Amino acid sequence: MTTRPLDPGATSRRVIRDLWRLRWVALALGLVGGFVYWPIFDNFRVSLTHQDIFTGETTSAGFENYQRLAEDPVILTALGNNLLYAVVSVLFQVFGAFLLAAIIEGLGQARQRAILRAVYFIPSAISTTVTGLLFYFIYQPGLGLLDGVLQGLGLGAWSRVWLGDPATAIHAIIAMSQWQGFGYSALLFSVAIQKIPAELYDAARMDGAGPLRQIWSITLPMTREMTGMMIIITVTGAFQVFNEIMVMTGGGPNNATQVLGTWLYEQGFTQNDMGYAAAIGSLIFAVTMVCGLAQLALNARRRVG
């Protein structure tokens, strides 16, 4: 048995070709490192200092900002509001949107499905700031659409100062967000459902399975990957919410609607405490990272199972 001698020229050309391809990998790593990982580490560095954004003076603080973070009562309120936001959003924008998409895709006529997709998606195309202002007027006590409808139905006793009452303000804002994001999630689920082979539904109908059984046994398992991705996106977005709070209440009344993002802004740009704001930013990063990794691990476990 004879072996072909190695061609040094061919080996060199292959190495050069591989190195030439790696330049794109190096470029991508450089961009990710410069615009994602470096800001994370730099934010942590800032969180260990006291910084004055007006004078530029910086002094070391050690872990003082993190100790303050653990003792700040507003942080507990903000974290609770973010958690409530995440739970409600998962219920409506993931599971509710999945059910809506399954119903839409089960309709017989393609034209009906297209019209309903567009109707439910329109709120997602509106700017969050515009939507916040719209609902700000809807929630106006006495003059707003919501109180007008309640009074027209004989339920005037249910009228509230929706955004001025600490007991209802955060719930009113969360309701607005669900209205806006519901259609976008439903559209993504519709795309995932369209990829399911029609033969599976035909076989299920021949076996006597009804619509609910088809959704439970076929649609839900076949869209598991989309469901996992939507949960990650929704939970992460719930801990990054900012615009709607700032437009509608600014964190009030009496900090009742503060979330981590608005409290970070308040501390950094109103109270001129960038070190403490950076510590809040680190908390947001840690929470979203843990939630994302937990969901990814759960999805991987389901695939193996």
Residue 219 lies in a domain: yes
pLDDT per residue over 61-115, tens digit each?
889 999 999 999 999 999 999 999 999 999 999 999 999 999 998 887 888 888 9
pLDDT at 15: 72
Does residue 48 fall inside a structural domain?
no
pLDDT recorded at residue 303: 67
Residue 41: band (very low, low, confident or very high) from pLDDT cuts 50, 70, 90: very high
Confidence of residue 53 (pLDDT cuts 50, 70, 90): confident
| Residue 155 pLDDT level (bands cut at 50, 70, 90) | confident
Residue 154 is assigned to a structural domain of this protein: yes
DSSP state letter for 95: I
- Residue 248 CA: distances (Å) to CA of 137, 166, 193: 9, 13, 36
pLDDT score recorded for residue 48: 94
pLDDT at 258: 96
pLDDT tens digits for range 219-254: 999 998 899 889 988 999 999 899 999 999 999 999
Q: What is the CATH number of the domain that holds 136?
A: 1.10.3720.10
In a domain, residue 30? The reply is no
Convert 47-84 to b/e letters by CB count within 10 Å (16 or more is b): bbbbbeeeeeeeeebeebbeebbeebeebebbbebbee
CA-based torsion, 183, 185, 191, 197: positive or negative: negative
Structural domain that includes position 143: 68-304
Three-state DSSP at 6 gives coil
CB 46 within 8 A of CB 278: yes
- Kindly report the average pLDDT of the chain as a whole number: 89
pLDDT number for residue 167: 92
Q: Is the pLDDT of residue 8 over 80?
A: no
CA atoms within 13 A on the CB side of 58: 9
Check whether 278 has a pLDDT greater than 60: yes
Q: Is residue 60 part of a domain?
A: no
Residue 96 domain-assigned? yes
In a domain, 283, yes or no: yes
pLDDT in tens, 159-191: 889 999 999 999 999 999 999 989 999 999 999
pLDDT at 2 over 60: no
Within a domain: 121: yes
The pTM of the full predicted model, rounded to 2 decimals, is: 0.86
